[in-house]
């Protein structure tokens, strides 16, 4: 017949140490996950702005991006049709200084690739982190920055 023994104190301490090490590794990664959606949203918006500029040049027609600030989306208006893009959950608009067209901030690119005006869009996550997607006047160059222009 076997005798059943209890857990030795040393084994319990080893298990607790291993769990503490795993927790110490995972918690910092989890805290940065919120910023990933903000960075992803800013990167996607920058790509969409560049795509709009290139479409205007290649089609020879004006292409626009219309920002719907309260619904957290934007509309890409190209000659071949309209595409809607929603911001990821937890990311919102915090500002926009593009000129209003039909009471909505609108960024347009002419067939030359020049924007109607330079400006920026501010995206904000739930923790208050902000990223600026900046479009330079005349050239239409797009960049992302954590500091206001």
What's the confidence (pLDDT) of residue 50? 96
The confidence band for 23, taking pLDDT boundaries of 50, 70 and 90, is confident
CA atoms within 13 A on the CB side of 63: 26
User: Which pair of structure tokens corresponds to residue 146?
Assistant: 């954590």
The Cα–Cα gap between 37 and 86 comes to: 12
Please write the tens of the pLDDT for every residue from 26-83. 666 555 555 588 999 999 999 999 999 999 999 999 999 999 999 999 999 999 999 9
Domains of the chain: 9-145 (3.55.40.10)
Structure confidence at residue 149 as a pLDDT band (50, 70, 90): confident
Closest by CA to 99, choosing from 118, 75, 123, is 118
* Segment holding 145, helix H or strand E: strand 142-145
Output the pTM of the full model: 0.76
Annotate 72-135 with DSSP letters as a single string.
Answer: TEEEEEETTEEEEEEPPTTEEEEEE-SPEETTEEEEEE-TTS-BSS-EEEEEEETT--EEEEEE
């Amino acid at each position: 017949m076997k005798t059943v023994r209890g857990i030795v104190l040393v084994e319990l301490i080893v298990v607790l140490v291993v769990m503490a090490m795993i927790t110490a590794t995972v918690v910092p990664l989890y805290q940065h996950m919120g910023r990933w959606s903000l960075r992803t949203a800013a990167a996607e918006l920058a790509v969409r702005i560049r795509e709009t500029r290139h479409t205007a040049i290649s089609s020879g027609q004006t292409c626009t991006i219309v920002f719907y600030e309260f619904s957290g989306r934007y509309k890409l208006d190209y000659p071949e049709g309209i595409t809607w893009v929603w911001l990821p959950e937890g990311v919102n608009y915090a500002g926009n200084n593009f000129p209003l067209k039909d009471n909505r901030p609108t960024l347009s690119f002419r067939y030359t690739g020049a924007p109607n005006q330079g400006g920026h869009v501010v995206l904000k996550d739930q923790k208050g982190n902000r990223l600026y997607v900046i479009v330079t006047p005349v050239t239409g160059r797009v960049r992302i920055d954590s500091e206001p222009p």
